[in-house]
Amino acid sequence: MPEQPDGRRDDLAAMLGPLVQVLVAAEQPVLAEHDLSMWGYAVLCGLGDEPVRTQAALAQAIGADKTRIIGVLDTLQERGLIEREPDPADRRARLLRLTGEGRRLRDDVQRSIQQGEQRWLGRLPADERAVFLRALARLSRLAREDLDRSR
C-alpha cells in the first residue's frame, strides 16, 4: 500500500492507534486462557531473568505507577509465579524475581502472542517485515530512553 497519492500521510500516532488496539484485543483471549491481566503479563515480562530490587523500579520499567502494580504483585505471588521478599540489606525494599513456574508461564504466553502477531506481520513482504521490526525496535528503545529521562 503506497502513500497517499499526494505524498501526504497520517500522523504516526493516528496510524499506530488502531494497530495497538487490534494487537491488544488479540492478546486478551491468550491472557484470559492463562488467567493473566495485561498488567500481570507486563510484570512477568518486566521481571526478566534477573531479580529486581524494588517494586518502584519494576513499575517504572513497565510504565506503571508504583501503586498500580501492588495488587498485581499480590496475585502473582499467591499463584506462586513470583517471589517477593524483603531485601536483607534494606528491609524497606522488596526483592522481586520470577519462579520457575512464572518463567514457564511467561514464555508460553509470549509464544502464543507472538504467534498471533504473525497474522499481521505475515501480510508484509519478508524483507519489508525485517526492516519494520528493526526500525520499530530502535524507535521503541529511543522512546523508552526519553520516557526514563523525563521521570
Applying CB under 8 A, which residues contact a copy of itself?
Answer: 1-3, 9-24, 27, 42, 45, 63, 110, 113-114, 117, 120-121, 123-124, 128-129, 131-144, 146-147
Grid cell 504516526 in the structure block, residue: 12
Span 29-68, contacts to DNA by CB under 7 A: 39, 54-57, 64-68
The rounded distance, in Å, linking the Cα atoms of 32 and 26 is 11
Measured CA angle at 141 (ends 50, 100), to 5 deg: 20
| Residue 32 binding: pick among a copy of itself, DNA, none (C-beta 5-8 Å cut-off by kind) | none
Joined together, the cell numbers standing for residue 102 give: 512464572
Which residue lies nearer to DNA by CB, 60 or 121? 60
* First-to-last C-alpha distance (Å) of the chain: 38
Residues in the site for DNA, rule: CB under 7 A? 39, 54-57, 64-68, 70, 73, 90-94
